[in-house]
Structures are given as C-alpha cells and as structure tokens.
Structure 1
C-alpha cells in the first residue's frame, strides 16, 4: 500500500516547478497510482475564474485584495481537496508557502492575517512534502522571455522576486525534513532524477 500525501511544488516565476510537476505526473501514471493535480490560483471551475481575474494584465488590485482573491480561490478548492485527501496522491502547483512568500515577504501583508484565514480554510489538511525551486536572475528572465503570454505576476522587478524567493527559503528552514531545495539553474535531467527519487521515498 503506497502513501497518499499532499506534495507541493513551489518557486518564483521561471523556476521550473511546472515542468517538474509534469515529470512527477508521468511517473505516477507509469506506476498506475491515483492522483489529483491542481494549481493555485485555480483548480476547480470557480477557482479558475478567480485566477483569470487576479492574473489579468490590466488588473490593479491592492495587496490586501490580492491576498483575499488568492484565498478565495483556495476556498473554492476545499471540497475538492477534502474529497481526495488521504484517498489519492495530491500534487499542488503553488500552495500555502506561495501565499506567505508573495503576499507577506513580497508585498508586506500582515502574516497573522494570512495564517488566520488559511488555518480557517484548511483545518486538518496539511502538506506532507514540498519541492522548492530556486532560480537566478539571468535564468528567470530568459525563461520568461520564452513565454508566449505573460500575466501580471510575470512583470515585477527582480527585487520583488528576490524578496519572495528569500521568503520561500526562510519557510523551508523551519522544517528542513519536509523540503527539497531544487536548484533550477542546474541540468533539468539531473533535477528530474533527484525529484523522482525523492517521490519514491515519500510514497514508501
């Protein structure tokens, strides 16, 4: 019997997390393991509507509205998460740490406010393991240039992304056993190998 954990992929724009989550998906399919994959913001139908609102190029919400929209999208996913919690492996592209890293460390929103609403929404739903992807300035911007469509969060100055990435790293230090730092400046096959190896350990 394999474990059914919640596994999260975190990192700033251009850090490779979305590519790596696809590698894990392919591995799970090959092993014929049941899983659910969602992204934040997004996932359920209503959460995807909120995602489109948040990320529109011409949106100009203040930082508190941004936070509440992100958490509203998460609220729309709660039933989906509850339905699959401990029944399937759950893969999430951005989750709790992203809210804290972007909204608190990046934008300066009160941390207690974020934690209070988040705890109210999630209750007993806990993350089992996080892959935190890091990337340098050169690689981040070169990868963003390759994207056909840039959203509002792809257009900040590097100082903002640097604060967010440092925020992620601070969060990872609080419980190192539940994080793997993935240096996305390294060869993609090397990172794929170490991620899949870690997935195998998590599922034992």
Structure 2
C-alpha cells in the first residue's frame, strides 16, 4: 500500500464520519504530514455548486438525476485527486461506495451503471482504505435533531437509512482487508484512538 494512501470515511447521516475526518486532519497537521481533504458531494467550487443543488430542500430530483449529479460533482474532484495521487495523503468524506450505498441499495439504481461510471471517472485511482461509521436508529434521530438545519438528505425515512447502512455493510464484507467498521454508538474517544492507530499503520 502507498504511504500516501487515499483514505475514505463513509457512513449515513449522524454516523460521525465528518467528526473523525476532522480529527485525522488535525492529527496529520500536527505530524506535519502533507495531505488534502475533500468531501462528496463538494470538494471544489464547481462541486460545491452541485452539492447545493443535490441537498437543497426544494430539489426533488429522481434517483437517476441524483446519481448523475453526484457523478458530476465527482468528475470535478478527479483532477484534484490526480494531482495529489501518491504525492499526498488524500482524505475523502464519502466517495465511490457512497453512490452504491445510497443510489443502488437506497434508491434502486442499477449497480452496474454506477460501477461503469465510477470506473470511467477514476481510471487507475483506487481507494486504499475505508472507515465505515455505523449508527443505530436512536442515535441517528437524536443527532439529526441536534443539527441547526436539515438538508434534503437528512429527511429520508428511517427505512431508507437502514437500506443504505446495510448496503455499506455488504460492501465492507466484500473488501474486509480494506474496511474498518467504527461503531459510533460507542465512546467517541475510544473510536478516535482506534482510527488514529490505523492511520499510523497506513501512512508509515
């Protein structure tokens, strides 16, 4: 594995992935290790414009449009990733498995179409390791209630989030050596230590 890996943080809403990627970012800064951090959808000015469209509460796109908007945002990020690939550690808040979990397992879009589009965009770029943050229904709802504002993807039914999280778990089982489950229902400090311990192994 490259010592400048691509490390992805996946998970449904309220699972703590954004918190943990922030912890890792501070850790790498402290260690003076060169890295970039992006999020999906979003990551650069063009992708952020698309993000606003996807998450806007007034948007009501069908599942195919949603998929293509996610892919469009990803397409804008690929140049950024290519420039840093194997030169810097790359941290990504959701990436390719996001679209499989949400658009296929959650919304029913053809998985082969998603795989074809991902392959076309990524070419020889591969994710090195993924932290999958999981959360139970109770904590998910409590954390969403604590948010100052909710976007379109924060307002789906519990059954949808269950399908998406189960989809993530299926993906993790197919790539056991490249996935680590983080149970965000447990103590957050212990999870931070667990993740940073793995980060050390990935970059050294």
Q: Tell me if TM exceeds 0.5.
A: yes
Is residue 27 from structure 1 mapped to residue 27 from structure 2 by the alignment?
A: yes
Consecutive unaligned residues in structure 1, runs of 5 or more = none
Report the equivalent of 2:169.
Answer: 169
Counterpart Cα distance in 2 of 1:42 and 1:147: 20
Displacement of 1:180 in angstroms is 0.6
Task: Normalising by structure 1, report the TM-score.
Answer: 0.98
Any idea what the Cα deviations from partners look like across 1:118-158, whole Å, max 9, x if unmatched?
10000001000000000000000100011011100000011
Counterpart Cα distance in 1 of 2:115 and 2:22: 29
Counterpart Cα distance in 1 of 2:167 and 2:117: 19
Residue aligned with 1:38, SS:
strand
Report the equivalent of 1:6.
Answer: 6
Over aligned residues, Cα RMSD in angstroms? 0.7
- In the TM superposition, structure 1's runs of 4+ consecutive aligned residues that sit over 3 Å from their partners are none
Report the equivalent of 1:160.
Answer: 160
Counterpart Cα distance in 2 of 1:19 and 1:195: 12
Aligned residue pairs total 203
Report the equivalent of 1:139.
Answer: 139
Displacement of 1:78 in angstroms is 1.1
